[in-house]
């Protein structure tokens, strides 16, 4: 373990925990709807299947990114940036779905806005703290 890894800053600590927590919640919520009973499907309302699947699968990557951030691995900054970009693309595809009169829930707009903001923030922070600092 190098000296840089031993000096985990509070900001890295926070974003890594947010990433893992966000991932675990995403997996739980997505899995409940995807693999749940009829009541779970009804409670979800007019969910958009490709958005739900994207978020569920991305949840596992969120956890991996969070662990990498905790360990201060440079690859985790790249993964966080990829997650931010992929989330933004999924949000844009969702926007197209809405534009073409697809059914959706307003809470999906809020959730995707939040996901995009969270991952752009995590990626920017990770990039600044892990890639630029260690370069």
Q: What is the mean pLDDT of the chain?
A: 93
What range does the domain containing 53 cover? 8-134
**Residue 3 domain-assigned (yes or no):** no
119 within some domain: yes
Whether residue 89 is contained in a domain is answered as yes
Residue 125: per-residue pLDDT: 96
Section 65-88 average pLDDT = 97
Tell me the average pLDDT across 45-65.
98
CA–CA gap between residue 105 and residue 111 (Å, rounded)? 10
If one counts the domains in the chain, the total is 1
pTM of the model: 0.89
Residue 8 binned pLDDT confidence (cut-offs 50, 70, 90): confident
Residue 6 pLDDT: 53
What does the block give as tokens for 92?
């844009």
């Amino acid at each position: 373990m190098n000296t840089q890894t031993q000096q985990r800053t509070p900001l890295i600590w926070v974003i890594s925990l947010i990433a893992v927590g966000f991932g675990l919640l995403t997996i739980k919520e997505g899995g409940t709807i995807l693999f749940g009973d009829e009541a779970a499907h009804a409670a979800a309302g007019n969910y958009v299947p490709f958005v739900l699947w994207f978020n569920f699968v991305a949840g596992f990557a969120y956890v991996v990114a969070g662990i990498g951030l905790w360990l201060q691995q440079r690859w985790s900054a790249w993964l966080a940036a990829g997650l931010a970009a992929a989330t933004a693309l999924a949000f844009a595809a969702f926007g197209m779905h809405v534009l073409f009169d697809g059914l959706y829930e307003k809470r999906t707009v809020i959730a995707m806005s939040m996901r995009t903001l969270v991952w752009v923030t995590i990626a920017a922070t990770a990039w600044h703290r892990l890639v630029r600092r260690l370069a």
